[in-house]
Structure 1
């Protein structure tokens, strides 16, 4: 499913540039994605659109997030730490943080792989028509061992 999301991010600059689900399903099938994987990705995107509406205005800029035990177990320590890092850097406001957590909780696997969380973060930015700044893109895509230290 996440491979489909990455393909959509790379192919369509914004969600409104995507064709309707039926046409998108045909295009993704033609590219070689499995039908179940496509169905899961489209369902995940529908949930992303719903969460964008659900979390608008529900959190103040100084809100504090307390994770439930189920969230901690599913996300894992590296993912919770990465979300906290993005918040403290001022690039992930509370409504977007909630969208990330909401969408991460429906991805199978426990704990969630940090690389999978990074794709989710990227898709949340994409869904809002925003591109993270270059430093955040570096955090999302460049492995720590490949970074150049100046």
Structure 2
């Protein structure tokens, strides 16, 4: 699934340039991705769209106070793991991940197929959340999102 998400990021400049799910599935299969991975990726993208609808109201002026601290539930901590939570905190502190996008990332990360998430996995999911919202990302943060970790994605 993660390789497909990276492929989408690399091949479609904006989410709007992605074809509909049926056409995208055919294109991904033609490139050589496995059917199960394609289904997982498309399901994750549907989850991303659903989470976005629920969480974007947090971006309104009456949303969370900028100095508010996010407390993770025990379920979130178990699903994400300390490495992923640390990376989410890094993105927040750097100003790259506002509260609404953080909540979208947390929700969609919990839809992943393995727990806790590796650093490589949370980076790909964060990249896709930012890509889906066409968010501006600092160049150094962008490089960190694209950095190839030792435990490269194998799912």
TM-score of the alignment, normalized to the shorter chain, above 0.5: yes
Q: Indicate the residue corresponding to 1:63 in structure 2.
A: 68
Q: Indicate the residue corresponding to 2:24 in structure 1.
A: 24
Distance in 1 between the 2:83 and 2:114 partners?
14
1:87 matches 2:98: no
Contact 1:73/1:111 (8 A) holds in 2: yes
The offset of 1:49, in angstroms, is 1.0
Q: Indicate the residue corresponding to 2:153 in structure 1.
A: none
Q: How does 1:5-44 map to 2 (within 5 A)?
A: 5-44=5-44
Unmatched runs of 5 consecutive residues or more in structure 1? 146-150
**146, 151, 155: which one pairs with 1:141?**
146
TM-score between the two structures when normalised by the length of structure 2: 0.87
> Given the superposition, is the C-alpha separation of residues 117 and 22 from structure 1 closer, same or farther in structure 2, using an over 3 Å criterion?
same
Q: Indicate the residue corresponding to 2:83 in structure 1.
A: 78
Q: Indicate the residue corresponding to 1:49 in structure 2.
A: 49
Q: CA RMSD in A?
A: 1.6
**Higher mean displacement: 53-62 or 71-80:** 53-62
The offset of 1:133, in angstroms, is 1.8
TM-score between the two structures when normalised by the length of structure 1: 0.90
The offset of 1:101, in angstroms, is 0.6
Distance in 2 between the 1:131 and 1:24 partners?
25
